[in-house]
Amino acid sequence: MNICVFCSSSNAIPEHYFEAAQELGKLIGDNHHTIVYGGATVGLMHTVAESARAAGALSIGIIPESIHNKRLSSPRDHEQIITPNMRDRKYLMRKRSDAFIALPGGFGTLEEILEVITLKQLQYHQKPIAFINTAGFFNSLLDQFERAYQESFSKEDYKLTYFVASNAEEAINYIQNYRHVELATKWFDVPGPSRV
C-alpha cells in the first residue's frame, strides 16, 4: 500500500513530534508499505521517510521545483518526482497514494489534509484518512470541526471521512482494516437556483 504522509517541514519543533514521526515511519516499513511524502530533507518529512526506509519501505518523494532548487530534496528516495508547482505536487501525492496520514504540521499540512477530506466528502475518492494527534496537537482543529457539525455547516456523518489516532499504531491499524462507508450527499437540501 502507498501511504501518503503530510507533515511539518520545521526542524525547530519539540522532540516528541520527531519521535512520533520515527514511530510512524518504522511501522510503514515493518508492514511492507511504501511512503509517499513531500520529498524534503527537513522536519518531520525527513524523519518519517528516513525511518520508513530504515525499516525497509520504498519512498516516493514528490517535491516542487522551487523547493528542489533550494537543495532541500532528498537524494535517498527510491523515486523522486519534481513538479512545476505545489498544485501538481498535491495532485500527484493524492494520485499515487492509497491512504493518507497527517502528522502535526503548519499551514501546508493543514491545507493538504483538509483538501483530501473535502475531496472524499465530494466523493472524488474513497481512501482512508487519519490524523495522528500527537500531544493533542489537532485538538483545536477538531473543536472547530465540532462547531461546524453543531451549527450545520457540515453533516455530523462526515466524521466518518477521517479517523483521529492517538499514535502511529492506531493510524496504521485503521488504514489496514479500513472499510469504506457510503455517505449521503454533503448538502442538507438539494441546491436550487442561487439567491441574489
DSSP secondary structure of 95-145? HT-SEEEE-S-SHHHHHHHHHHHHHHHTTS----EEEE-GGGTTHHHHHHH
Mean pLDDT confidence for 106-128: 96
CA atoms within 13 A on the CB side of 74: 28
CB-facing half-sphere around the CA of 55: CA atoms within 13 A: 20
Which band of pLDDT confidence, cut at 50, 70 and 90, is reported for residue 189? low
The pLDDT tens digits for 41-93 are 999 999 999 999 999 999 999 999 999 999 999 999 999 999 999 999 999 99
Q: Is the dihedral of CA 106, 133, 28, 177 positive or negative?
A: negative
Q: Is the pLDDT of residue 190 over 90?
A: no
Over 90: is that where the pLDDT of 183 sits?
no
196 pLDDT tier (thresholds 50, 70, 90): low
Question: Is 80 exceeded by the pLDDT of residue 179?
Answer: yes
pLDDT given at position 182: 84
Question: What does the pLDDT look like over 141-168, one tens digit per residue?
Answer: 999 999 999 999 999 999 999 999 999 9
What is the chain's mean pLDDT, rounded? 94
User: What domains are there in the chain, each with its CATH number?
Assistant: 2-176 (3.40.50.450)
